[in-house]
Amino acid sequence: MNPSHGTKQQNGDLPAAPDSEPAKIPAQAHTYPDEAQLHRLEMHNAVLRLARPTLEDRLTERTDELASALAAAETASRAKTVFLNNMSHELFTPLNGIMGVNQLLMRNISEPWQLEHLKASQAAAYQLLELLNNVLDMARIEFDKVLLNESSFDLAALLQGVVAGIGSRAKAKGLSVQLDCAASLPPFLMGDALCIHQALIHLADNAVKFTDRGGVTLVVEIRSRNALGMQVAFSVTDTGIGIAAADLERIFLAFEQADNTSTRAYGGAGLGLAISKALIALMGGELEVSSSPGQGSTFAFTLNLKAVTQKERTPDQLRGADVTTHPIWPEAKIRQKPYMKLCM
């Protein structure tokens, strides 16, 4: 008899055992620190316990130093602003006297060369007046003294006032100025006309200042409508020197320009963009810029404004006119097909 055969018959219901069993993973033995390691850990903990009060004292001391430095910096900044504010007010009195005397002399002097000298003096006085106004505006913004005054305003008159503000400087440099205003915009809107005008005039003035060839274009259009009103988009585009990508953030700081050499070449104190950005933020918008060196710049922002439907345009406004003439510039024509354009 074959023993293996008998075994198979006896264990027929059981599976055959494998030829070899898989190797068992040996259990890792637990290791415990020896006395030397325990002693080092205890010494380390003891050192930390001894150093903890000192570290906490140093952290508290450092925090107090930083808080004191921050308070000192804020105090110095406010003192600087107060000084500039007071000095600006003090300078207004003699400046007004100079401008008044210039006006009187220009009425009584007929010599051409004397008139030219007086005009140059008056132009310098106006530049100084603009700088003082900017310093005062920046002081009011820093002290949170600017309050919004929303009321109905004539959008066309506001935009034409902006173009009028830069018209003479643009003409002196041989630049064109174009106003593109969507015809679908309502004639009257609800908002702070003074803040909007001030923000736009600073942007437009900067565009003229840093543009030597080409022109400046102011575009106003409706971005979207909702139950509360509409989003009105404003943009000022120039064909000027442009701004490098690394300087796009820095130009919005007070007393800053993209390049220090720009201050000498183009003038200005670097306050216009800072004021515009602060005023637009106060109205709930955000000033954005897109630019590249040598290709010009575009400054744009969007505001939520409400239409004033109960008021209608007067006959001397732009309603229904294909070509009209505005009294501010007799030579300027305004077109509304489908945009009304004011070119200078």
* Residues 231/224, Cβ–Cβ less than 8 Å: yes
Rounded to 5°, angle at Cα 172 from 166 and 177:
45
What does the block give as tokens for 243?
Answer: 């701004």
| pLDDT tens, per residue, the chain with 344 residues | 444 444 444 444 545 555 555 555 555 555 666 777 777 888 888 877 777 777 777 888 888 888 888 888 888 877 777 777 777 778 888 888 888 888 888 888 888 888 888 888 888 888 788 888 877 787 777 777 777 888 888 998 999 999 988 988 899 899 999 999 888 888 889 999 999 999 999 999 999 999 999 999 999 999 888 777 899 999 999 999 998 888 887 787 765 555 555 544 555 556 888 889 999 999 999 999 998 898 899 999 999 998 886 544 444 433 433 333 333 333 333 333 333 344 44
* Residues 313/187, Cβ–Cβ less than 8 Å: yes
Distance of CA 102 to the CA centre of its chain: 38
Q: How far apart are CA 293 and CA 84, in angstroms?
A: 33
* Residues 141/281, Cβ–Cβ less than 8 Å: no
* Residues 302/308, Cβ–Cβ less than 8 Å: no
Distance of CA 148 to the CA centre of its chain: 18
Q: What is the pLDDT of residue 213?
A: 92
Q: Nearest-CA neighbor of 204 among 263, 151, 273, 261?
A: 273
Q: How far apart are CA 327 and CA 338, in angstroms?
A: 22
Q: Which amino acid is at 275?
A: I
Tokens 């900044």, located at residue: 77
How would you classify the pairing of strands 229-238 and 215-226?
Answer: antiparallel
Residue 293: CB partners within 8 Å, gap ≥ 6? 241, 242, 243, 244
HSE (side-chain half, CA atoms, 13 Å) at 181: 22
Quote the radius of gyration of the chain (alpha carbons, Å): 37
Tell me if residue 296 falls in helix, strand or coil: coil
- Domains recognised in the chain with CATH numbers: 67-142 (1.10.287), 151-343 (3.30.565.10)
Sign of the C-alpha dihedral computed for residues 211, 217, 222 and 224 taken in this order: negative
What does the block give as tokens for 29?
Answer: 């033995």
Q: Is the pTM of this model over 0.75?
A: no
* Residues 205/268, Cβ–Cβ less than 8 Å: no
HSE (side-chain half, CA atoms, 13 Å) at 185: 28
- Rounded to a whole number, what is the largest CA-CA distance in the chain? 149
Report cis status (omega within 30 of 0) of the bond before 26: no
What one-character-per-residue DSSP string does 22-55 give?
Answer: PPPPPPPPP----HHHHHHHHHHHHHHHHHHHHH
* Phi (first) and psi of residue 338, to 5 degrees: -85, 5
* Phi (first) and psi of residue 236, to 5 degrees: -125, 120
What does the block give as tokens for 178?
Answer: 């174009």
Tell me if residue 218 falls in helix, strand or coil: strand
Q: How far apart are CA 298 and CA 237, in angstroms?
A: 4
Residue 66: CB partners within 8 Å, gap ≥ 6? none
